[in-house]
Structure 1
């Protein structure tokens, strides 16, 4: 969690100088979980953007039940082990869209972490996805931004000194944009985006920024009297508006701690694959299923490397399945199901997680925590 405050009165002044950045990691994060129900108004400097995305874009997301599926019914496609974002393996007969997709695909490896304001880390994946957004963006592109927003944190603007409000046990007085009867909470991909937002104010007052887990921010929007969330409001056209209903749907299907997503988005360490394997033993994931273009044969998507190794495709959220644009349906996959599948398919070399990127190959020897589940079941 990080904080900076703007105490200067001139609208021409910068929000903060890097030297003024304060690190408040020692503060009690539990005091930072809620936003004030009576958030202070923040008059928009231009007309509030219209919402260009609907829950209908979540086609089939979150199905809690589905047909019995088996790997034997799916036909793997070739894929490079070094670029697993490429394998769009689909069940037999599934059509593969020929259109090149700029969004929401991302590099297989996580981006380098940056700080547009010293001491305050950016949500780089979200920031980069927003640079691709222009006026008239499609639902698929906007969902791609939402997918990347789920990795890491968002900054929220607070009217006044957030440090003081937290220390006094007060709910944070978050800044909002009003559009008629509707009000929108503001979220930011970086401290630099917060600075740009404050600089638009005609009469700026003391303003601070707090980094919170993205699921916490979404929960504040859903539980509060908000019509939605505006991300990087001063960065038009590279900004997005997500309606509350969409955020609620996203949260319903999400791991609140974003355990696997966070590990995959973080810089790679020698034990990264092992940590992900351990997380898979206790975290619900998703698989992509397809009915084989109406043939009635339902299979789970997998990938095959040029040397013949087979990998199951796993997804940390249904949005990751939609991101590939293959028309597959996300199906929840519990740790025990994964354990049973790997045990019954001994030729399965491991799993590929979130092929749309950032992604990670976790080979079988790093999945011992998962395989133990199947052994315990047999006992």
Structure 2
């Protein structure tokens, strides 16, 4: 199949090669992590307009929804309201993965490891879209495997995924085969399928808008291994906030893997990161994934904590106002009253002497 850039080229039967830099170590995550996948010629000149190509939005995929609900001194408290990310749709009915899209837009020309990790963490929630070449309905009716758009580089194969309709439109704009179906799936499903199908990685928005990047299997594997399988907290924080959001996050804190940020104080002792307000409030920083700690760019390291341990920490320090979840954003603050179910899990203290 033909692959595409934002600049029209003569049709070719050969897949377009995507440069990949391998064997990079990323802040404690060992893997072959690429820099941005952007041809120098494409970055050297403004992108040319992409002709409009109709995209059929079928019932083969639905936007991801949140899972059904059933002291080292840190930075100051965030001042912006915790209302969740803005909701955008380049095409009606196809919500953008706004967080992943923004993380791509913020990449520098030669991304640092921290930037790549930021794209990875913001790709662990919401919806990602896959392009299917031809008529997906006919392929399914005929019992054929779906013809997913991929990129080939030598003996490596990369699945192409998109943050929304704009990325898909750019990807199909110069394809001689313009019949395209779209499959929208939860991000975790796309990432898991990338590994299960034996691809060497996943390329996000390979033709724009913004920069493109490769998430390799090594990085995806490590990220999924350390994650809540349902990405419960991340999906809750990425979704539109309601009066029930805080309660659902508290419920999740009692069930899913969580982490704190541990660092060394100036006196050499170990401390746990807090966020402090000018009014004396203190919030223990809690994270839904180790990448959330690394994204802060501090010297802190992620450390797992059980719900009972979190409850014990809150019960044992009445001066803590509450917790700040995922400080790198999107974030939420929870006070002690909201955290009562977690505090109730506190481990009983053993009398001394």
TM-score range relative to shorter protein? 0.7 to 0.9
Q: Which residue of 2 aligns with 1:79?
A: 76
Does the C-alpha gap of structure 1 residues 297 and 209 become closer, same or farther in structure 2, counting only changes over 3 Å?
Answer: same
Report if the CA contact (8 A) 2:27-2:113 is conserved. Answer: no
CA drift at 1:109: 4.1
Match for 1:155 among 124, 129, 132? 129
Within 2, Cα distance between the matches of 1:233 and 1:78? 35
Within a 5 Å distance, the mapping from 1:17-32 to structure 2 comes to none
Query: Does residue 309 of structure 1 match 2:281?
Result: yes
Rounded Cα–Cα distance in structure 2 between residues aligned with 1:287 and 1:253 = 14
C-alpha distance in 2 between matches for 1:333 and 1:128: 30
C-alpha separation between the residues in 2 aligned to 1:374 and 1:166? Answer: 52
Partner of 1:342: 314
1:126-137 matched pairs, under 5 angstroms: 126-137=100-111
1:220 to 168, 193, 204: 193
Counterparts of 2:260 and 2:84, CA distance in 1:
22
> Per-residue CA shift, 1:110-154, capped at 9, x if unaligned?
222111111111001111111122431111111111121112121
- Point out which structure has higher relative CO (alpha carbons under 8 A, 6+ apart): 1
Q: Work out whether residues 315 and 354 of structure 1, in 8 Å CA contact, stay in contact via their aligned partners in 2.
A: yes
Structure 1 portions without partners, runs of 5+: 1-10, 12-41, 62-73, 84-106
**Preserved contact between residue 263 and residue 271 of structure 2 (Cα < 8 Å):** yes
Structure 1 residue 192: deviation in Å?
Answer: 1.9
Q: 1:232 aligns with which of 196, 202, 205?
A: 205
TM-score with structure 1 setting the length: 0.72
Deviates further, 152-161 or 248-257: 152-161
* Distance apart, 1:366 and its partner CA: 1.2
Cα deviation for residue 357 of structure 1 reads 1.2
* SS in structure 2 at match of 1:374: coil
- The structure-2 alpha-carbon separation of the partners of 1:157 and 1:291, relative to structure 1 and needing over 3 Å to count, comes to same
Could you give the per-residue CA deviations for residues 20-47 of structure 1, whole angstroms, max 9, x where no partner exists? xxxxxxxxxxxxxxxxxxxxxx954x43
> Is the 8 Å Cα contact of residues 116 and 190 (structure 1) preserved in structure 2?
yes
2:19 corresponds to: 49
CA distance in 2, matches of 1:152, 1:122: 8
State the alpha-carbon separation in 1 of the partners of residues 136 and 323 from structure 2.
43
Q: Distance in 1 between matches of 2:348 and 2:72?
A: 30
Once the 2 structures are TM-superposed, how far is the Cα of residue 212 of structure 1 from its aligned partner? 1.1
**How far apart, in 2, do the equivalents of 1:53 and 1:302 lie?**
34
Matched residues in 1 for 2:181 and 2:299: separation? 43
Q: Secondary structure at the match of 1:366?
A: coil
Q: 1:185 aligns with which of 145, 156, 159?
A: 159
The Cα offsets for residues 283-316 of structure 1, whole Å up to 9 and x where unpaired, read as 11111101225x4411111122111121100111
In structure 2, the CA distance between the partners of 1:158 and 1:222, relative to structure 1 (3 Å rule), is: same
Specify the alignment match of 2:44 in structure 1.
none
Contact preservation (8 Å) 1:339, 1:373: yes
How has the CA–CA distance of structure 1 residues 273 and 172 changed in structure 2, closer, same or farther, with 3 Å as cutoff?
same
On the 8 A contact 1:52/1:139 being kept in 2, the answer is: no
Root mean square deviation of aligned Cα: 2.7
Tell me, yes or no, if structure 1 residue 291 matches structure 2 residue 278: no
Q: Does 1:319 align with 2:288?
A: no
1:300 is matched with which residue: 272, 294, 297?
272
| Offset from partner CA, 1:66-123 (integer Å, 9 cap, x none) | xxxxxxxx2435624634xxxxxxxxxxxxxxxxxxxxxxx95422211111111100
| Equivalent in 146, 150, 153 of residue 120 of structure 2 | 146
> How many residues are aligned here?
300
Query: What is residue 65 of structure 1 aligned with on the other side?
Result: none
**Contact 1:51 1:242 (C-alpha < 8 Å) held by counterparts:** no
Select which of 227, 231, 237 maps to 1:254.
Answer: 227
8 Å Cα contact 1:108-1:356 kept in structure 2: no
Structure 2, unaligned runs of 5 or more: 5-12, 31-70
**Aligned partners of 2:241, 2:88: CA distance in 1, in Å?**
16
1:211/1:58 CA distance change after superposition, 3 Å = farther
Q: Give the equivalent residue in structure 1 for 2:42.
A: none
